[in-house]
Structure 1
Amino acid sequence: MNEQQAGGRLPSMGEVGAVMVGFIAIMFLFINVLELPIQLALFTSWFLVMALGLKLKLSYEAMQKGLIDGIHNGMEAVLVLITVGALIGTWIAGGIVPSIIYYGLSVMNPQIFLCAAFIICAVTSLSTGTSFGTAGTAGVAMIGIGHSFGIPLPLVAGAVISGAYVGDKMSPLSDTTVMTASLCRVKLVDHIRSMSLVSAPAALIAALLFLVVGFFYVGEDVDTQRADMAMQALQSHFTINAWLLLPAVIVIGLLIRRYPAIPVITFGAVMGIICAWLAQDVALLDAMRTAYVGNAMQSDVDFLNTLLNRGGIESMLGVIALILFALGLGGLMERVGVLQAISNSFLRWADNAGRLTLSTMLGGFFGNFFGGAAYVSLITASTITEKNYDKQGIDRRVLSRNAEAGGTITTPMVPWTDGGVFMAMTLGVSTLSYLPFLWYHMLVLLITLFYGYANIAIWRTDESQEDTAALSTATKS
């Protein structure tokens, strides 16, 4: 008998359904109606799950242990986020992020604008780890430039949001990327490598689509004044140099080579401090201070002020609290038996890799549709189906990849999620208007499903391989 059943039994599907409806109602009420922080919604949901645990005769001590165990299992994510906050602050102060944006803008050409907008937003989000920050800064600039080019704004918004979510899904600096790896108990680098098998072809095809379509909308005589203004502002406030791109290349290269994330990202933050001190003439102590409080600057270009006044460990404290609440909720659901009951139900249907992939993606979309936030979708996508991957001997790298596809990717596709509302309001284009042009998102969903049903990149665990070998030997004998 496992610990969930120590109180007497697993919850029935009716009881699980009641808890899930209550959970979704709390998420929707707090986020969309009362406009309260999602952290409070998750904290309140703890007590909803505890109420079910008490009905099942579980002691509070047992549930608290499950809660603490859930948080303990994700503490690596907290440490990574601390270092990520320091990295962003020092990379902006050191001119690394400004140099990336500058060289991205320098490739702007009217005939390839849509493709360039997609790439610039992808590079910016990969460098900063935030789709919201990318859309609210570089994305706003792309909307203005695209408008002057005479390109339909829903198409420009599609390119911007597609690019912004490349980094939100793939960057080691992204909180959703780190959170998914933590929830699925997968190393961050392994999670990113697994996703790259889907994201790389999706990004390449999307870039080609935006390139081809761009030629049909862009005239020959256009005004690039906005891009020139941004580049001039960057040059006036930072020393822009190609060698300042090296820290980003080094950090990404070390992570790809599977070096531990925390020391690598910390090393990147140290390089940012050195760049701020030597290249940007920032006093050494002030450069070090940006690791905690982030960067502060003022320019005549509003979107640069928004983009470059951020970062620091301090900026991550809210996200850290969010992850702790989410991990605690997952631990509670595990201890009470909610996740096992749902997994048992899914297992009867998701009896192959294709159905398992689809069930995980549906779990993510379910969280977005009813919970209204990417963080909720990642919880529902990962924790509900994770046991089925273990039982079928499928590596959790597949789970984490599928959870991001169903959770992170579908967030801006639902009008009332935090991502959908933010993108529509920031870019001035309604969700249903830009939805047909989210080509990167659609390609990720299609490729992920194709991999599942075609059994491509569906890795098996060592235990599964050993069991299969043992079964084969027994059959022969």
Structure 2
Amino acid sequence: MFASLVVIGTMVALILLSVSFFGGEVAEGPLQVSMTLSTLLALAVAYFYGFRGSVISEAIANSLHGVMGTIFVILAIGTLIGTLYLAGTVPAIIYYGVALISAQFYYVTVFAIALGLGMMLGSSLTTVGAVGVAFVGLAAAIGVNPAITGGAAVAGAVIGDKTAKISDTVILITASVGGVSVADHTRTVLRTAIPTIVISALLFLILGLVGGNATASVDPAQVQDAISRSFNISLWAFLPILAIFVLSLLRFSAFMALMLSALLAVLLATVTQQELIVALAADPGLAYWEAALKVGIETLADGFQLESGVEQLDRIFAGGGATGMLTTLWLILVAASFGAVVDYTGMLARAIAPVVNWATGTVKLILTTMLSSLGLNLVTADPYVSIVLASRMFRGQYIKSRLKPVLLSTAIADSGTILSNIIPWNVHGALFAATLGIGTLAWAPFTFTAYLTPVVTFILAWVHYLRKDRIAASEDAGQIYGAEPTMLPEPARLA
């Protein structure tokens, strides 16, 4: 028990020190070093207590296999972002958006669009990957806060994902808990989601109304003129975004949908952005097809950088590329390794055991489940692993308390799973930061749905709205839950 607390406590201390020293730049290397040092300490403790290096290595390898799909998604998002600039997609969104969208209603509009797409696609990662960078770019163009915009995009995407029947986290939660259907789970989750959505929308509306006079100093015609000098703007530019949605609805994996759309964007650019490609190739001796191939490969690998000579424009139209995601991959690899060591050696279970045993009574049990789910996400850095662990830890307590399985699935979904999106070293938090090009600590305070969801869930449990979901005395609680699941569906990120 003492060793477990030392390892986990050291990790928390190193992370807090890194944040205090480096602030918004913490994910550019310091956070990765902190997680690496924490992993080394966990390995040393494991060896001290007699665990063989071979079995620890196998546990780490299994953990890394679990995040491999996410790694490919991150690389695909990097390639997509650069090609969306090259094809004129992001410039087109800004070109039309600067004249159509009011700054006063911008944040709530972003929130609503991300919410709708998240519910439709069942993937917050795909939603933010597809439109997040465009939202942030447009925010810079019309003079509103990019960090609030990023928070609004993530807030809408994650709450939409949480309520979608086709979401991979929803499917995994219901399978891990057992005894609850996807339909029952999403119906119960809506009880907490609806108040959260309404309150969040009001907060974004207030933020927009209070700080929405930014466009007074922005001339839409001037912005459009500057963009049209560097890009050929047309409705064809929206084709890659449309492709993402169509492929996602056809149930292509996130990696395939994003990567195919990135390749489509390169092909589109060769047709619609010929002057731009020739300028970026910077080699008059190349035939056009050679210039297009060179620029396409460079954009996929290293991202896009406009060189118009207009500083503000060049700053907005820059980013993406697979290499730009390498620090994010480093963070995910070391965080997953740390989680594997503390999970396999039992350090995590021993640290949480007193909390699990303390939980008696409905309200206390729901609160403990939510706090433990958050703790698991903080330590394992993987929402999918934490879902499985939380389900296993609390099934017995919920059966003993005769609470319906849907309460356990809701408590997990409404706590650690949604809060994982704002943890800088968690898989989802790191991915969103890399996609938006903004540090997690900058946009996370504005991801209101992540904070409000667990609060609303606990309040509803306190006032008996959720507590009425009890198993009747005439029914066998163990039979309703069924045997503990052993074969769980792999998240869509691995497809």
TM-score greater than 0.5 by the shorter chain? yes
- Distance in 1 between the 2:226 and 2:175 partners? 41
Amino acid at match of 1:405: I
What are the ranges of 5 or more consecutive residues in structure 1 without an aligned counterpart?
A: 1-11, 146-155, 173-177, 368-374, 412-416, 459-463, 472-477
Cα deviation, residue 359, structure 1: 4.3
- Distance in 2 between the 1:275 and 1:384 partners? 41
What are the ranges of 5 or more consecutive residues in structure 2 without an aligned counterpart?
A: 118-124, 162-166, 177-181, 278-290, 396-404, 425-429, 470-475, 484-495
Matching of residue 314 in structure 1 with residue 323 in structure 2: yes
Cα deviation, residue 363, structure 1: 5.4
- Classify the secondary structure of the residue corresponding to 1:408: helix
Identity %: 21
Matching of residue 15 in structure 1 with residue 3 in structure 2: yes
The answer for the alignment partner of 1:26 in structure 2 is 14
Cα deviation, residue 49, structure 1: 0.9
Matching of residue 206 in structure 1 with residue 200 in structure 2: yes
Answer whether contact 1:114 1:210 (CA < 8 A) is retained: yes
With the length of structure 2 as denominator, give the TM-score of the two structures: 0.65
Matching of residue 284 in structure 1 with residue 286 in structure 2: no
The answer for the alignment partner of 1:6 in structure 2 is none
- Distance in 2 between the 1:167 and 1:278 partners? 34
Equivalent of 1:390 in 385, 389, 392: 392
Cα deviation, residue 87, structure 1: 1.6
Cα deviation, residue 103, structure 1: 3.0
More displaced, 308-317 or 195-204?
195-204
The answer for the alignment partner of 2:350 in structure 1 is 341
- Distance in 2 between the 1:441 and 1:209 partners? 13
Cα deviation, residue 159, structure 1: 4.8
- Distance in 2 between the 1:24 and 1:169 partners? 25
CA 1:354–1:298 in 2, change beyond 3 Å: closer, same or farther?
A: farther
More displaced, 342-351 or 59-68?
342-351
The answer for the alignment partner of 1:326 in structure 2 is 335
Deviations 1:419-443 (A, max 9, x none): 9xx779979xxx9xxx6x7655544
Answer whether contact 1:166 1:203 (CA < 8 A) is retained: no
The answer for the alignment partner of 1:407 in structure 2 is 420
More displaced, 324-333 or 283-292?
283-292
- Distance in 2 between the 1:405 and 1:379 partners? 13
Cα deviation, residue 254, structure 1: 2.9
The answer for the alignment partner of 1:38 in structure 2 is 31
- Distance in 2 between the 1:89 and 1:246 partners? 15
CA 1:99–1:390 in 2, change beyond 3 Å: closer, same or farther?
A: farther
For this pair of structures, how many residues does the alignment match? 410
CA 1:438–1:259 in 2, change beyond 3 Å: closer, same or farther?
A: closer
Answer whether contact 2:92 2:233 (CA < 8 A) is retained: yes
- Distance in 1 between the 2:134 and 2:390 partners? 36
CA 1:347–1:256 in 2, change beyond 3 Å: closer, same or farther?
A: farther
- Distance in 2 between the 1:83 and 1:287 partners? 14
CA 1:57–1:319 in 2, change beyond 3 Å: closer, same or farther?
A: same
Cα deviation, residue 135, structure 1: 9.1
Matching of residue 468 in structure 1 with residue 491 in structure 2: no
More displaced, 110-119 or 234-243?
110-119
- Distance in 2 between the 1:126 and 1:336 partners? 34
More displaced, 17-26 or 402-411?
402-411
- Distance in 2 between the 1:307 and 1:120 partners? 21
Deviations 1:286-344 (A, max 9, x none): 22431112112124554543342111111122211211111111111112111222343
CA 1:246–1:132 in 2, change beyond 3 Å: closer, same or farther?
A: closer
More displaced, 246-255 or 384-393?
384-393
Amino acid at match of 1:255: S
Answer whether contact 1:94 1:276 (CA < 8 A) is retained: yes
- Classify the secondary structure of the residue corresponding to 1:407: helix
- Distance in 1 between the 2:348 and 2:193 partners? 29
Amino acid at match of 1:245: F
Answer whether contact 2:79 2:299 (CA < 8 A) is retained: yes
- Distance in 2 between the 1:313 and 1:185 partners? 34
Cα deviation, residue 240, structure 1: 2.3
Answer whether contact 1:27 1:38 (CA < 8 A) is retained: yes
Cα deviation, residue 47, structure 1: 1.6
Deviations 1:39-80 (A, max 9, x none): 221111112112221232222222222222211222111122
Deviations 1:350-374 (A, max 9, x none): 568876664465457769xxxxxxx
- Where does 1:172-251 land on structure 2 (aligned, <5 Å)? 202=196, 206-208=200-202, 210-211=204-205, 223-251=216-244
- Distance in 1 between the 2:245 and 2:411 partners? 22
- Where does 1:246-261 land on structure 2 (aligned, <5 Å)? 246-261=239-254
- Classify the secondary structure of the residue corresponding to 2:320: coil
The answer for the alignment partner of 1:8 in structure 2 is none
Cα deviation, residue 225, structure 1: 2.2
Deviations 1:178-202 (A, max 9, x none): 9999x99999xx9xx9799677874
Matching of residue 297 in structure 1 with residue 306 in structure 2: yes
CA 1:140–1:118 in 2, change beyond 3 Å: closer, same or farther?
A: farther
The answer for the alignment partner of 1:165 in structure 2 is 154
The answer for the alignment partner of 2:51 in structure 1 is 58
- Distance in 2 between the 1:357 and 1:60 partners? 38
Cα deviation, residue 31, structure 1: 4.4
The answer for the alignment partner of 1:461 in structure 2 is none
With the length of structure 1 as denominator, give the TM-score of the two structures: 0.67
Deviations 1:353-410 (A, max 9, x none): 876664465457769xxxxxxx957728776674231352678797466324333347
- Distance in 1 between the 2:301 and 2:175 partners? 27
Q: CA RMSD in A?
A: 5.0
